[in-house]
Amino acid sequence: MKIVKTVAEVREQVKAWRAEGLTVGLVPTMGYLHEGHASLIDASVRDNDRTVVSDFVNPMQFGPTEDLETYPRDLEHDAALVEAHGGDLIFNPEPAEMYHDGFSSFVDMTVLTQELCGLSRPVHFRGVCTVVSKLFNIVTPDRAYFGKKDAQQLAVIRHMVDDLNMPLEIIGCPIIREEDGLAKSSRNTYLSAEERQAALILSKSIKLGMELVKNGETDAAKITGEMTKLIESEPLAKIDYVKMVDAATMQQIPALDRPALCAIAVYIGKTRLIDNFFTEDV
Ligand code: PAF
């Protein structure tokens, strides 16, 4: 397993693999890897001859008041995890390698990014689409792997790949949870012991929503209303949104008459956490 810092080194390695007729999978990450990322690496290793993991805290997807400076980083730990899961290359560029002086081209998307997280994080998806496009151009993977926890990000990336005829397959992988239900996230490290306990309200409300759907409830407002009531019972929780949307367009829907995504974003103290379920997975 190798760690490289430059675009040129990635290109050289991928070119050598291609010369041998090998397929390449890409797992884009911002590092501080956990079992959620490991499951993406496992899927890529299973599907492809070689796996590249990008490890880059992308400044462009953070708003001015967000946690860019404090976002956790640990390359040594990441390297051990990638190695243990059979990854072949880590691309860990400095910001200047990705965004040189005078950088001024962006990949922006309308509609899908104007809902859910896009409302409270207005610059986020422009940063995600731009960096993911760059990574696709640098690595030229056959397949790229994203977690379903960031369900809107997955939908946005699928849409971008389709809109811009990008020649690769996007694979969405299931949410990985702690034993007590909390969805794995690098941001969980921000939580104090008390907040960590309070954060369980997210997965509890997801479980409740799934239960209601399983029992045949199709009224979106009833489902999100029950989930909202439960989250509001936790004093440390502050809701950003609890919404039922069309799984492809991310537009809010009144009834479960098509594949839907139930998505929530909740602040526990200062930490903003997300969770979700797709009705087709219930
Ligand atoms: O999901 C993430 O960690 C990031 O948004 C991604 C896709 C690596 C782009 O920086």
Nearest CA to ligand 1 atom 9: 128
| Ligand 1 center–CA 49 separation, angstroms | 23
The residue extents of the domains of the chain are: 2-173, 186-275
| Ligand 1 center–CA 239 separation, angstroms | 23
Task: Provide the whole-model pTM.
Answer: 0.97
Percent of the chain predicted with pLDDT > 90? 99
**What's the rounded Cα separation, in Å, for the pair 196 and 275?**
15
Catalytic residue of the set 34, 37, 85, 124? 37
Q: Look up residue 118 and give its DSSP letter.
A: H
Q: What is the pLDDT of residues 55-96, one digit of tens each?
A: 999 999 999 999 999 999 999 999 999 999 999 999 999 999
Q: What is the pLDDT of residues 93-123, one digit of tens each?
A: 999 999 999 999 999 999 899 999 999 999 9
CB 203 within 8 A of CB 275: yes
Contacts for 121 with CB less than 8 Å, ≥ 6 apart: 63, 66
Sign of the CA dihedral running 19, 24, 30, 35: negative
37 is catalytic: yes
- Which CATH number among 3.50.40.10, 3.30.70.260, 3.30.70.20, 3.40.50.620 corresponds to the domain 2-173? 3.40.50.620
| Ligand 1 center–CA 185 separation, angstroms | 12
Nearest CA to ligand 1 atom 3: 29
Taking residues 203-229, what's their average pLDDT?
98
β-pair type (89-91, 143-147): unpaired
Homologous superfamily in CATH for domain 186-275: Pantoate-beta-alanine ligase, C-terminal domain (3.30.1300.10)
Q: What is the pLDDT of residues 185-198, one digit of tens each?
A: 999 999 999 999 99
